[in-house]
Amino acid sequence: MIPRLKAALGFSEFKAAFTFSRSDDVNKFENEFARLADQKYAVAFPYGRTSLVFILNALGLENAEVICPAYTCVVVAHAIVTSGNVPVFVDSDKVDLNMDLRLIEKAITPNTKAIIATSIFGYPVNLNLLNEIRQRYPDLIIIQDCAHSFFCNWNERAVHKEGLCAFYGLNVSKIMTSIFGGMVTTDDKSFANKLREARNEILLPASVAKSLKRLLYFIMVYPIFTRIGYKFINRLERGGLIDSFVKHHKPDIIDMPSDYLQGMTSVEARVGEAQCKHYYSIVEHRHKIAMIYLEGFNDIQSLELPLYNDGATWSHFVIRTKYAKALIDIAFKAGIQLGEIIEYHIPSLLAYRSYRSVGEEYAKTLPGNVINLPVHAGVKEEDAFRIIKIIREKIQCLVK
Ligand SMILES: Cc1ncc(COP(=O)(O)O)c(C=O)c1O
């Protein structure tokens, strides 16, 4: 079975994981990541969401309103609440699915202090619109959520550099991974120092038990994401037997992982450092597969395709369609898993119903009506053509 996601892990990451730990492993990963991001500083955390908590706390924000997308990973909202602040949700742009920046003005109050601009699914935030907001509200702090997009570009401008800082999630579903882990990049020396000081003071050192668990998890990732391994795992997933591993959220609970304040392990840092060397080839492959899909579906009216953008990094190839469920089922029968993420609209989740949300709730129509096609390292060109054929045939039957 072709899984919906697969980390681009090879021998070099495996070898890195089994190299002896050194006290400067995390530091070396940070330096390599900063170099890749072409930024001065990078600070590592155990999760992307932990890095957001530390960013907001380092800014001294308390009970401040922080604007974020209504359609993004719910852990972003969890991190804002955990930091002692208040998320304000903004609806999605109907064209690129990023937060609709034209609505931001309606969300801003005197208590708004920061905006989390997210390049969802690897599609770059429109920097022209973002910079208009920055000019009008120079005191608002811009934080780039690059957990999906990493180093995407808008008109050849690096999105992650447009604001105070950017943060990244590095779990195995991401474009590049350090098993779990998060990172912040910035060019602001005093902010980087503040973050580092807070991290060193507050985070507990990673325990031996955590390092062993991470190593074991990493070893398991290799066989699980092979086609045979995933066939078995997918059965368990569909039967709901591994929900605690694969489901990100409980609709009524705002929480963080129990080890979110335990530092990144050395093994994660070494794997992450090894991944940095492959970043550009990983993105190049995703781009190539995405182009095949764009071309293969461009004449089908009932599929709303992602926009082409040269600077996109294609963490997901998301198609909007009312036939999502039928397509997921037919692909599954053919041994292909189509992704459904993001399968919720955050302001509709019980835990967030009392929070302010701006816009007409276009994002509410997305869960259940999107599929994402695999673009990862395990998808060959011939797989992409097969996926196109299967979907085209099914669509022809459905629209008759
Ligand atoms: C858009 C987005 N932002 C932030 C995060 C947080 O990353 P992490 O899971 O490492 O906390 C994720 C996680 O998957 C995400 O998808």
Q: Are strands 357-358 and 141-145 parallel, antiparallel or unpaired?
A: unpaired
Tell me which residue range forms the domain holding 165: 1-400
DSSP conformation class of 188: -
Is the C-alpha dihedral spanning 317, 318, 319, 321 positive or negative? positive
Ligand 1 touching residue 76 (CB < 6 A) = yes
Give the closest residue to 362 by CA, choosing from 77, 93, 122, 104.
93
69 lines ligand 1 (CB under 6 A): no
Query: Structure pTM?
Result: 0.96
Least Cα distance to 5 among 388, 373, 285 occurs for: 373
For position 305, which CATH number holds? 3.40.640.10
The closest residue, in CA terms, to atom 15 on ligand 1 is 73
Q: Which ligand 1 atom sits closest to the C-alpha of 167? A: 4
Closest ligand 1 atom number to CA of residue 170: 10
Measure Cα distances from 234 to 2, 41, 109, 169, 238 in Å. 10, 39, 45, 24, 6
CA 398 to ligand 1 centroid distance, Å: 35
What pLDDT does residue 375 have?
98
Give the pairing type, strands 357-358 and 86-90. Answer: parallel
- DSSP secondary structure letter of residue 150: S
In whole angstroms, what separates CA 254 from the centre of its chain?
Answer: 19
Ligand 1 midpoint to CA 345 (Å) = 15
> 89, 143, 145: which to mutate for ligand 1, most atoms within 8 A of CB?
145
Average confidence (pLDDT) per 10 residues, the chain, 400 residues: 94 96 96 98 98 98 98 97 98 97 98 98 98 98 98 98 98 97 98 98 96 95 87 78 66 94 98 98 98 97 96 98 96 93 94 97 96 96 98 92
Task: Output the pLDDT for position 246.
Answer: 63
Tokens 């997210």 map to which residue? 118
Ligand 1 mean position, distance from CA 399 (Å): 36
Q: How far is the CA of 173 from the centre of ligand 1 (A)?
A: 10
CB proximity list for 42: less than 8 A, separation 6 or greater: 30, 31, 33, 34, 183, 184, 185
Question: Looking at the chain, which runs of residues are DSSP E strands?
Answer: 41-45, 65-69, 86-90, 112-118, 141-145, 153-154, 157-158, 165-169, 182-186, 317-320, 357-358, 370-373
Q: Domain total for the chain?
A: 1
